A = this chain, B = another copy of it.
């Protein structure tokens, strides 16, 4: 679900499995909450519950970082916060550019959770000349012509793309050419990038479709179990499709 293309084995980076890396932010968030409430230590059991994962999994995850726990006691909250932050690279701060300041881009710019974790919005970039100079979230929008210069001057290595789908690949190419090596893509397109560049995508539409699949399945099972309960039959419900759907579709030529 990362790196756009044939990528490396997708596997562990310096011994830390990708799946573990993806959970570290989750642990960090839970730990930050405990830290704010001045809780000194947590057991793997408690922390796992707070993060919504299995405690054995959490312990194994932490074991990749080192032996930071104390048997019979648990983990020191502050220490662990620091270790995970360091491992994730959050002890330095990362300048980020957002490209495409429309509905979504503006919402992202206004998002407080950005700065809270070492990420700093270095610039907002949009192709619309009418937007240039207008401040969004206190930051003046700059024109897309300036993209290369902005990335270069600020040493930006992380770019966020919130343009329409059609513009995403060209924008991506320019970002990469300018030196960006990590991209978070909100546009519904597959981005192609050179080796060494990481791409992660966030796609609302895909998430909804996955939910719809399970929703349909639940409805199907329900209908199958209780073989008759037309509870105010929702929607048209055309073709209740049997165990394995034969379908009234046009077949290929």
A76:B212 contact, CB within 8 angstroms = no
* Residues of B close to A252: CB separation below 8 A: 41, 70, 76, 78-79
Stretch binding the partner chain, chosen from A127-135, A142-150, A199-207: A199-207
A208:B155 contact, CB within 8 angstroms = no
Q: Given A79-B251, A206-B22, answer yes or no on A211-B184 (Cβ-Cβ < 8 Å).
A: yes
Copies of this subunit: 2
A107 at the interface (CB under 8 A from B): yes
A43 → B minimal CB distance (Å): 14
* Residues of B close to A251: CB separation below 8 A: 76, 79
* Residues of B close to A200: CB separation below 8 A: 207, 210-211
Interface centre among A78, A92, A116, A251 (most CB of B within 10 A): A92
Interface centre among A66, A117, A205, A235 (most CB of B within 10 A): A205
* Residues of B close to A34: CB separation below 8 A: none
A111:B104 contact, CB within 8 angstroms = yes
* Residues of B close to A89: CB separation below 8 A: 212-213, 215-217
B117:A107 contact, CB within 8 angstroms = no
A194 at the interface (CB under 8 A from B): no
* Residues of B close to A235: CB separation below 8 A: 92-93, 155
Partner of A204, one of B113, B205, B238: B113
Q: Given A92-B235, A103-B110, A215-B158, answer yes or no on A117-B190 (Cβ-Cβ < 8 Å).
A: no
A174 at the interface (CB under 8 A from B): no
Given contacts A83-B249, A106-B107, A158-B212, list 12 more A-B pairs with CB under 8 A: A14-B217, A52-B190, A76-B253, A82-B249, A86-B247, A89-B213, A92-B235, A92-B236, A107-B107, A111-B204, A182-B211, A184-B211
